[in-house]
Amino acid sequence: MLLGAAAGSASAQGDVRRGEYLAKAAGCVGCHTEENKDAVPYSGGRPLKTPFGTFYGPNITPHVETGIGFWKEEDFVRAMRHGERPDGANYFPAFPYPSFTKISDADLRDLWAYLRTLQRSSKESRQHELRFPFGWRFLVTFWKWFFFTPGPFANIPGLTDTANRGAYLVQALGHCSECHTPRNFLGGPKSSRFLAGGKGPEDKDTPNLTPTGLKKLSDRDVENFLVTGVTPDGDVPAEAMAEVIRNTTSQLTPQDLNALIAYLRALPKLAHAPFQSSDLRLSRRML
Ligand code: HEC
Ligand code: HEC
């Protein structure tokens, strides 16, 4: 019904079908849906454990009381691009807007058009349970000073068009770095270690995705892993990555998957360095 309405009204409105694909490429459903068969997609309640406490993905269906039914497109763009609520307060970066800020204007419009077509759910969003003092939204302002640069993705000079498409998929939509780039104790990504693996959220070690880390795997192996979740040794991945495969990488078109891999192969080679206590001292000094 709504789908028809959006498709019928020309280009000022986003494209619902493209938006649906982009939502898959960004794995939106995972964090915004409880892991239970009867859960309405995007109705919220999914716990996300972090060293700062447990966040709950909110209801983002178009329900006017419990979801984001009375948001305007500008509210959505502001949330994704700037990490700000309609009332101006900060979102916590457990919502990966540090990556989503890189999504293009056209793609944001399509995502928004898609979100408007979701089944409404009257489920109340759940309060986050955060350790003191991490529950204070204004502290995120300081975090943003250090770790947040708003603005859409710009092509990386020196990369092919294919690899740049891959870079967009990895950096903006896929938010792969949220887990594959190590973090300091403030939860800020260490940009010099981009995608080199280390402690991700939930304090678990993630593998190095730069060519050093993936050198034993052929393009076919990586592709196979990102579609089926099986490695050449027959291992199956930890749940965090299994979910990314289920919701995101297995849903990509073959061209996009190919682009994503081309980008990983073009990354600067970095060795995998485990978390060190000096990292902690360094980040304290930054305060
Ligand atoms: C890694 C988990 C995660 C992913 C992936 C994710 N979100 Fe969220 N999102 C959150 C969390 C947590 C919040 C709440 C943040 C807060 O309260 O400060 C949130 C908040 C939001 C909000 C604000 C809701 C409100 O009521 O204020 C919107 C809109 C939203 N997300 C849309 C999206 C879209 C669209 C995608 C995919 C492009 C997406 N999210 C992917 C975790 C996620
Ligand atoms: C929620 C955290 C998370 C996100 C987001 C995430 N990953 Fe992973 N990834 C992991 C973990 C944890 C593993 C290790 C799985 C295992 O070995 O059990 C992994 C493993 C992998 C591997 C296998 C590497 C190897 O050497 O075997 C590849 C390739 C990979 N991820 C690519 C990606 C890409 C591409 C994205 C973005 C689309 C992504 N990951 C997003 C957590 C994540």
pLDDT per residue over 107-164, tens digit each? 999 999 999 999 999 999 999 999 888 888 989 999 899 899 999 999 999 999 999 9
Nearest residue by C-alpha to atom 33 in ligand 2: 176
Per-residue burial over 262-282, b if 16 or more Cβ lie within 10 Å, else e, is bbbebbeebebeeeeeebeee
Between 51 and 34, name the one with better pLDDT.
Answer: 34
Nearest residue by C-alpha to atom 15 in ligand 2: 237
Question: How confident is the model at residue 32, as a pLDDT?
Answer: 98
Nearest residue by C-alpha to atom 33 in ligand 1: 28
Q: Are 182 and 276 in contact (CB under 8 A)?
A: no
Nearest residue by C-alpha to atom 43 in ligand 2: 241
Question: How confident is the model at residue 283, as a pLDDT?
Answer: 39
Q: Which ligand 1 atom is at minimum distance from the Cα of 67?
A: 26
Structure tokens at 167: 């870079």
Between 119 and 231, name the one with better pLDDT.
Answer: 119
Residue 124: nearest ligand to its CA? Answer: 1
Question: How confident is the model at residue 135, as a pLDDT?
Answer: 86
Residue 75 in this model has a pLDDT that exceeds 90: yes
Q: Are 214 and 222 in contact (CB under 8 A)?
A: yes
| Gap between the terminal Cα atoms of the chain | 52
Residue range 169-198, pLDDT digits in tens: 999 999 999 999 988 877 788 888 999 998
Nearest to 42 by CA among 103, 100, 111: 111
Confidence label for 82 from pLDDT (cuts 50, 70 and 90): very high
Q: How far is ligand 2, taken at its centre, from the CA of residue 42, in Å?
A: 23
Cα separation, 49 vs 63, in Å, equals: 26
Structure tokens at 39: 């859960």
Confidence label for 234 from pLDDT (cuts 50, 70 and 90): confident
Residue 208: nearest ligand to its CA? Answer: 2
Cα separation, 194 vs 202, in Å, equals: 18
Q: Are 191 and 181 in contact (CB under 8 A)?
A: yes
A 10 A CB-CB count for 120 gives 17
